[in-house]
Amino acid sequence: MKFAVIVFPGSNCDRDMYHAANEVLGEEADLVWYQNSKLENYDGILLPGGFSYGDYLRSGAVAATSDVMNQVKEHAAKGKPVLGVCNGFQILTEAGLLPGALMRNKKLAFMCHQEELIVENNDTIFTRGYEKDEIVRFPIAHGEGNYFCDEQTLATLKANNQIVFTYKNNPNGSVADIAGIINQAGNVLGMMPHPERAVEALLGSEDGLKLFQSIVQNWRESHYVANA
The backbone torsions φ and ψ at residue 83, rounded to the nearest 5 degrees and listed phi first, read -120, 120
Active site annotation includes 196: yes
Q: Under 8 Å CB-to-CB from 134, ≥6 apart: which residues?
A: 118, 119, 122
The number of beta carbons lying within 10 Å of the beta carbon of residue 143 is 17
Which of 27, 115, 120, 196 is an active site residue?
A: 196
Active site annotation includes 194: yes
| Amino acid at residue number 43 | D
Determine the Cα–Cα distance for residues 17 and 69; give it in Å rounded to an integer: 18
Determine the Cα–Cα distance for residues 116 and 13; give it in Å rounded to an integer: 20
Which of 120, 144, 149, 194 is an active site residue?
A: 194
The backbone torsions φ and ψ at residue 99, rounded to the nearest 5 degrees and listed phi first, read -80, 165
Q: Under 8 Å CB-to-CB from 70, ≥6 apart: which residues?
A: none
Which of 75, 86, 120, 144 is an active site residue?
A: 86
The number of beta carbons lying within 10 Å of the beta carbon of residue 104 is 16
Enzyme catalytic residues? 86, 194, 196
